[in-house]
Structure 1
Amino acid sequence: MSTPESFADLEVPLPATPGALADLGETLGRAGVSLEGGGVTSLGGGRVAHFLVDDGPRAVAALAGAGLGPATARDVVTTRLAQDVPGQMGAFARRLADAGVVVEHLYSDHDGNLVLLVADEDMPTCRDVVRAWDAEREAAHRPGGSAG
């Protein structure tokens, strides 16, 4: 399995027909692409799937070959929140906002990592915010650190 940093967000518009999600999943499975998190959202009559995949280029090629899509794969940023600490999502989102980062899409992977999709121009700043967040979280869990 790849590390979360090597994953990509796969975005695919889906028709509102029975079997569309099955076609997507079966096509990716035949191509050997692992789904590591994500889901499908309905908005304004349309549906869009966002899945964390272990091989973005392979996923896009497989879907194109099957006539599904258009599909795009983009880099993501991942981090963790302290699930047992209320307010973590708000505190983390505030840091992103204060840094000028707009989150386009957010979901969790199967290991409980937060998956962030941001505009390409926001990616370096988002990575900086996440590095600082992760360092503080790790320091808080060392002996003598303070959690929260």
Structure 2
Amino acid sequence: MNDLAITVSDVAGDVSRIGAVLGAAGVGLEGGGVWAGQAHYLVAEGAVAVAALEAAGINATTAPALVVPLRADVPGEMGRMMSALQAAGIHVEAQYSDHDNRKVFVVDDIERARTVLR
């Protein structure tokens, strides 16, 4: 899976355009959102998404994303996960949820993060 990152300034306008471009390219969004002027979306085909957006004049980047189950029924689980990453010295660029109750992490060391979060 891939994290797709796009800077936005007009959330409704920019996201509607992003959605239209990605939809026309056959790229589905499996999770994500917008905060602090940055959109992050979980996509299966990062290169296809970036190519479609750039062809439409929208700058985008993609990075590998770590997707792990989130035990949402366990209070404090998100804090436990983030504490484990911090204690291991793993830098978290972004974190959000997907549509299947999983946590998505964009980190500087995906394999170490996978081990830490087991």
Whether 1:127 and 2:117 are equivalent positions in the alignment is: no
- After TM superposition, list the pairs within 5 Å mapping 1:1-148 onto structure 2: 7-16=1-10, 19-42=13-36, 47-69=37-59, 71-119=60-108, 122-130=109-117, 133=118
Q: Which runs of 5+ in 1 are unaligned?
A: 1-6, 134-148
Using CA pairs under 8 Å that are at least 6 residues apart, name the structure with larger relative contact order, 1 or 2. 2
1:54-86 residue CA offsets vs partner (Å, 9 max, x unmatched):
1100000000101111x0111011111221111
Scaled by the length of structure 1, the TM-score of the pair is 0.75
CA distance in structure 2 between the partners assigned to 1:110 and 1:39 by the alignment: 11
In 2: Cα distance, 1:90 partner to 1:18 partner: 31
Gaps of 5+ in 2: none
Report the Cα distance in structure 2 between the residues aligned to 1:26 and 1:56, rounded to whole angstroms.
16
Distance 2:84 2:46 in 1: 28
Structure number with larger C-alpha Rg:
1
TM-score by length of 2: 0.93
Relative to structure 1, the CA distance from residue 101 to residue 24 in structure 2 (aligned partners, 3 Å threshold; closer, same or farther) is: same
CA distance in 1, matches of 2:91, 2:107: 6
SS in 1 for 2:116: helix
